[in-house]
Structure 1
Amino acid sequence: MTDKPVLVTGATGYIGGRLIPVLLEKGFRVRAVARSPVKLSCRPWARDPGVETAVADMQDRSSLMRAARGCSAAFYLVHSMKAAVPQQENLDLQAARNMSLAAGMEGLDRIIYLSDLGDDHARASRHLQSRARVGRILQAGRTPVTILRSSVILGSGSAAFELIRHLVQRLPVMFAPRWVDTLSQPIAVQNVLEYLAGCLEKPETTGRTFDIGGPDVVTYADLFRIYAREAGLRRRIIIRVPGLTSKFLARFAHFLTPVPASLAETLIESMRDKAVCRDQEINKIIPQELASCSQAMSLALHTVHQDQVQTCWMDAGQLQAPEWIIQEDQNSAGSRILEYTQTVELEGTADRLWPLLEEIGGSRGWYGMDFLWRIRGDLDRLAGGPGLRRGRRDQSRLLVGDALDFWRVLRCEPPHVLVLLSEMNLPGEAVLEFRLVNTEQDRVRLLQIARLKPYGLPGLVYWYLTYPLHGLVFRSMLLNMARRSGRRVLSGPHAVDRDRLISG
């Protein structure tokens, strides 16, 4: 085993975030790469002495070369799930070229790439074709490439599992296209991680392509029934209906599951393609006990119920905060920033009240007027936004970059500051901020601040239409947080001048 670190691209993504702890357990040093330094720094493994972090953009070859410098090998775990969009597919292919060139220039021993299982032919889904093209680009470089091709990955937080879980939970009768009977060979996420890490330990995997799958060859209809059985639900009735398009089914899934239509369409399109291993030669090189579909789903469900989901499909993506939010400067916004603040003063200290803030949203709700939050979430879903169905990965702890209903955690600085960036479909850029400020001994002030940079007249109309609700909802939230904390209210809630209170 070399002393050089192993480069892991997509370190804050679903697979990358889980692979790093596995590599550390096996004694490898890791250089974790992502575009957002804040997202990297707050990951549980970021403080491990065996981990280095590097910020790089896959579209920026020079930054990728700096990240790869001194590494022994690289895991290539980045790829858009919107490859059906030509512009995004071009970005994916350029990212692969940059990775190949950076690996060659920096003298890496090899690249390990996780791709999709299926035959690359003219009628294959755009996503599968794009993944295959990425593999060919990587193989065309100077660095040897190991490609692992997997079918559906079953694990808590995976997009495929979440799509299956929410559809089966909500639909006792399911209308499905005929290709719901397409064969696939799903694999548990823990088996995928073991294969990926095992490739580093087995030099004979260098330069080869392997199909990886679990022990079961099943249809997608079988997967729905297996989930229902493992979740203790009645057997689901599946009715085949010809003519259902992937776009229609994706829009339908958008309203029933947390998976957005764009991602659901890619997943559904991929279901048309048979995804069965042609051989399982890799089992001879990296032997392991493969989990059945039932075992994989049972473990995933247990993990969800125990609130121990390590990573989620929602984790991926760049965290981009508008400049006016970063600088907290209205002048940098180029237009007026609209703001509404309420505060309440309580007995206690910030560290005692912080857990209430960190548990906000998801299954626990928003502490007040939850029916209004649900209406707003449904309206956002109708407009193509995430709505409230995304929930949150962990019900008691937040990390920067985490999805939180229709927000994204922008700042999380216990026990004082929580800033949420809106991902709603609305005419402007919005944040919701909470601050806990210790004022005197055993006295703490809780501020709740909504800010919007409106997009022209529609943004102004939106703000002033919803403005009357701010006072109603904020007051309810602050009072309920106070009651939940068991602390006595000393003053408020009332609307205030935020800057005066924070400084005073």
Structure 2
Amino acid sequence: MSELTQPTGREDALRAVPRDDGSAPRALVLGATGYIGGRLTPRLLNAGYRVRILARDAVRAASFGWGEECEIFEGSADDEHAVASAMDDVDVVYYLIHSMSAGKGFEESDERAATTVATTAARAGVRRIVYLGGLHPDDVKLSPHLRSRVHVGEIFLESGVPTLVLQAGVVIGSGSASFEMIRHLTDVLPYMPAPKWVRNRIQPIAVRDVLHYLLGAARVDDRVNRAVDIGGPDVLRYGQMMNGYAVEAGLRQRAIAALPVLTPELASHWNECIMKDHAVDALIPRPEGGLTPYRRSVALALGRVDADAVETSWQDAEVTGAPSDPLPSDPDWAGRTVFTDKRSVATRASVAELWRVILGIGGENGWYSSPLLWAVRGLMDRVVGGVGLRRGRRSRTAARVGDAIDFWRVEAVDQTEDGHLLRLRAEMKVPGEAWLELRAVPDGDGARYEQRAVFFPRGLLGRLYWLAVLPFHGLIFSGMAARITAAAETGDHAGSGVLREDAPDPA
């Protein structure tokens, strides 16, 4: 299990309180494979809980890094038999599911599942239910989804089982639906005409603070049965949130014009959501150091703070461990726009022979494709103030993390039985962020060369840039794949004393 960012669950104020007999309490997590649940589960383990999860797909749940440390029951929350089995000998139940992706009838599905869990928890003698609901104003029309979440909270509060409903608004963390919407709107649109509700106020909260409150909720006195609001230290308008994101993302602030239209149906999704009180402070102490400000939350979510690089990096896309600026913290399911170019070529060369060529790429050894195109790209970079190709590389035969190779920086050099990986991060001037991965993988009696270029565009210009260079990728990247494997087969690799004809001029 990866080292976790704050809160880790090991904080004294969040540790599990043993049962009367001294044994560790058991927590049942419903929704453990979701956005919040997937982060909460390993922290519960760290806090000293015995963790059990109920998931529709036990195989998928077991594939998580914490899977082997949990009891996994297969079933759905509306299956009374499955819920009863999972609820046996449980102290606290975390209910982190809702039917956001369901179509017609989702409110009935939410109600059915919540009623099943509430009834079964009461029958099993569960000590506490913790539910993450939605922050909402009183006496206004709510969106159907928010209305359903409020109703689910009411079901638990009326169940007879002490329940703490934590009501959060916009959760700021990579992959959260609200934050990704802010990201996409701000990235793509330099000017945003918007309905009047863009002036509504909202109180966002960092995902790390949500996790703090969820962990602390299990320690609240058993007599507490209520809903409380949770939020960060900043109250902002939607337009301020967008421009706060723009500043942290290195974009120009966006001009936002509030149009004199009401759009009542759409506005019901964007209620003014601020905390009505701070009653939660009497139940759960704030995190050490205080709640996370909005812009700090954005910086963490964007993966620009090294302390959070491990957990929030693009792990699902097999990109981790960057030494400086990590890959943006978005797995594929988060909805971030990602452009890739993938190549794979089988070769009769061994993994070791192929790896020697990969490890010596760049500098005077060349890039195994059109020297003219690489030289032009290097010149373009120097014209706009970039490093170009003039840096070369430290060694012709070796690369280590942190080394500069022309206008790339080495982020990873990994060698395992399953294959070897060299990952380079672009330091040329581009409207976005780019990486290049080169792999040597065992394949029968030979090896397979795998190559992947990854580009995260910044705004509209980044998307146009990718489209502009797309025609050249066929020449550059296909040429690289073919020539690297050919060099591995002929032994014409770095250290042989032979400079390739395609080597660019290092000057």
Same fold, judged at TM 0.5 (above)? yes
Query: In 2, are the aligned partners of 1:9 and 1:32 still within 8 Å (CA)?
Result: yes
Query: Alpha carbons of 1:160 and 1:122: their partners in 2 closer, same or farther (altered >3 Å)?
Result: closer
Judge conservation of contact 2:171–2:178 (CA < 8 Å) in 1: yes
Contact kept, 8 Å, 1:214 with 1:291, in 2: the verdict is yes
Find the counterpart in structure 2 of residue 185 from structure 1.
203
2:81 to 51, 55, 62: 62
Aligned equivalent of 1:411: none
Structure 2 CA distance for aligned equivalents of residues 109 and 206 of structure 1 = 11
What is the one-letter code of the residue matched to 2:259? V
Aligned counterparts of 1:152 and 1:196: Cα–Cα separation in 2: 16
Find the counterpart in structure 2 of residue 136 from structure 1. Answer: 154
Tell me by how many angstroms 1:438 deviates.
3.7
Q: Which has the higher helix share?
A: 1
Corresponding position: 1:270 with 2:282: no
Aligned equivalents of 1:486, 1:5: Cα separation in 2: 58
* Aligned partner (choices 197, 212, 228) of residue 215 of structure 2: 197
- Indicate conservation of the 8 Å contact 1:344/1:478, yes or no: no
Instruction: In structure 1, give the amino acid aligned to 2:134.
Output: D
CA shift at 1:278, angstroms? 1.1
Task: State the match for 1:309 in structure 2.
Answer: 312
Moved over 3 A (4+): 242-247, 303-308, 310-316, 342-346, 444-447, 473-490
The aligned counterpart of 1:100 is 118
**TM-score (normalised: structure 2):** 0.59
Q: Matched residue of 1:347: which SS? A: coil
| AA partner of residue 269 (structure 2) | S
For residues 29 and 71 of structure 2, the distance between their equivalents in structure 1, rounded to whole angstroms, comes to 10
Per the alignment, in what secondary structure is the counterpart of residue 274 of structure 2?
Answer: coil
Residue 25 of structure 2 is aligned to residue 4 of structure 1: yes
Shift of 1:6: 0.2
Per the alignment, residue 92 of structure 2 pairs with 73
State the match for 2:444 in structure 1.
Answer: 439
**In the alignment, which residue of structure 1 is the partner of 2:322?**
none
Question: How far 1:284 sits from its partner (Å)?
Answer: 2.9
CA distance in 2, matches of 1:232, 1:476: 29
Post-superposition shift, 1:62? 1.2
Q: Which amino acid aligns with 1:62?
A: H
Q: 8 Å contact 1:199–1:205 — kept in the other structure?
A: no
User: How far does residue 270 in structure 1 lie from its aligned partner after superposition?
Assistant: 2.5
Counterpart in the other structure of 1:370: none
**Counterparts of 2:96 and 2:484, CA distance in 1:** 42
Compute the displacement of 1:297 (Å).
Answer: 1.1
The verdict on how the C-alpha distance between 1:343 and 1:172 changes in structure 2, with shifts beyond 3 A counting, is closer
2:157, 2:226 within 8 Å by CA — same for their partners in 1? no
Go from structure 1 to structure 2 and tell me whether the alpha carbon gap of 1:80 and 1:415 turns closer, same or farther (over 3 Å shift). Answer: farther
> Does the 8 A contact of 1:156 with 1:304 survive in 2?
no
- Quick one: distance in 2 between partners of 1:24 and 1:170? 40
Specify the code of the residue in structure 2 equivalent to 1:18. Answer: R
Going from structure 1 to structure 2, the CA distance change for 1:481 and 1:72 (only over 3 Å counts) comes to farther
Residues 128 and 313 (structure 1), Cα distance of their counterparts in 2 relative to 1, 3 Å cut: farther
Distance across 2 between alignment mates of 1:346 and 1:479? 18
> Superposition pairs for residues 310-325 of structure 1, below 5 Å?
none
AA partner of residue 44 (structure 2): L
Kindly state the Cα deviation for residue 236 of structure 1 after the two structures are TM-superposed.
1.0
Shift of 1:13: 0.6
**1:169 match:** 187
SS in 2 for 1:89: helix
- Alpha-carbon offset, residue 151 of structure 1: 0.9
Task: Choose the corresponding residue for 1:284, options 279, 282, 285.
Answer: 282
Match of residue 350 from structure 2? 348
2:147 partner letter? Q
Report the CA distance between 1:136 and its aligned residue: 1.6
**Do the aligned partners of 1:32 and 1:53 also contact (CA within 8 Å) in 2?**
yes
Structure 2: state its 5+ residue gaps.
1-17, 314-328, 335-343, 359-416, 420-440, 451-472, 491-507
Structure 1 vs Structure 2 CA RMSD: 3.8
Who is 2:365 aligned against? none
Aligned counterpart for 2:66 among listed residues 39, 45, 50: 45
Letter in 2 for 1:270: H
Unmatched tracts of structure 1, length 5 or more: 248-264, 317-341, 357-413, 417-435, 448-472, 491-504
What does residue 23 of structure 1 align with? 44
| Compared CA separation, residues 112 and 189, structure 1 to 2 (3 A) | same
2:246 equivalent to 1:228 = yes
Q: 1:211-240 deviations in whole A, cap 9, x for unaligned?
A: 101111111111012112222222210011
Secondary structure of the structure 1 residue equivalent to 2:53 = strand
Q: Structure 1 counterpart of 2:46, which letter?
A: E
Measured at CA, do residues 170 and 196 of structure 1 come closer, stay the same or move farther in structure 2, by a change above 3 Å? same
Aligned partner letter, 1:347: A
- Does the Cα contact within 8 Å between 1:14 and 1:315 map onto a contact in 2? no
How many residue pairs get aligned? The number is 341
Distance 1:204 1:278 in 2: 24
2:177 paired residue number: 159
SS in 1 for 2:67: coil
